[in-house]
């Protein structure tokens, strides 16, 4: 399945996590385009069958700054017939754990995409969740 993973990342954790997920998808035999949202075009989503979006959560705006314009443009896009899922890192030390991931998932669903996996949300140090994240990507691709 032609797959794109688009992430926004401020400190780099979401980028690391997205790399793990992309590796899992590749292990399942998929061609994956991994893109920082800064370089992504909303129209290019139409070229893919499977769309994964990732954002960390930052109070008080929730969706990460770079991802925010993309997220807003997405409201005017139809993704009917496409498969999708959302993921991201967060920290349970904050009151709204991984809220941005819920926002992304809802937006994908509102666009008509089929959510094919329970969102991946990791708490704290992303490197400690490498195996789980690779496996999540692999299971989506399976
Ligand atoms: C100012 C600030 C606000 C944050 N707010 C939240 C939050 O509301 N919910 C949450 O789950 N994590 C929150 N976090 C944790 C980040 O989402 C987490 O560190 C994440 O891994 C950062 O990803 P990035 O390196 O890709 O930017 C916050 C972190 C900072 C520094």
Tally of domains in the chain: 1
Q: Is the pLDDT of residue 105 over 90?
A: yes
Give the C-alpha separation, 62 to 17, whole Å: 18
Q: Is 55 in the pocket of ligand 1 (CB under 6 A)?
A: no
CATH number, residue 34: 3.40.50.360
> What is the per-residue pLDDT across 108-135, written as a single tens digit (0 to 9) for each?
999 999 999 999 999 999 999 999 999 9
Task: Ligand 1, residue 16: give the atom nearest the CA.
Answer: 26
- Specify the pLDDT at position 109: 98
- The pTM for the full model equals 0.98
Residue 115 and residue 101 in contact, taking contact as beta carbons nearer than 8 Å: no
Q: Check whether the bond before 62 is cis (ω within 30° of 0).
A: no
Residue 40 structural domain: 3-141
Q: Ligand 1 centre from 16 Cα, in Å?
A: 14
């Amino acid at each position: 399945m032609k797959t794109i993973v688009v992430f926004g990342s401020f400190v780099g954790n979401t980028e690391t996590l997205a790399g793990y997920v992309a590796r899992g998808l590749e292990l399942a035999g998929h061609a994956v385009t991994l893109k920082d949202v800064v370089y992504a075009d909303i129209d290019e989503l139409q070229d893919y069958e499977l769309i994964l979006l990732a954002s960390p959560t930052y109070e008080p705006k929730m969706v990460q700054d770079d991802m925010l314009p993309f997220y807003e443009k997405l409201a005017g896009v139809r993704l009917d017939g496409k498969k999708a899922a959302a993921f991201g890192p967060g920290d349970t030390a904050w009151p709204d754990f991984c809220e941005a991931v819920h926002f992304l998932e809802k937006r994908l669903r509102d666009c008509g995409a089929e959510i094919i996996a329970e969102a991946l949300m990791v708490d704290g140090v992303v490197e400690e969740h490498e195996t789980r994240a690779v496996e999540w990507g692999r299971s989506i691709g399976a």
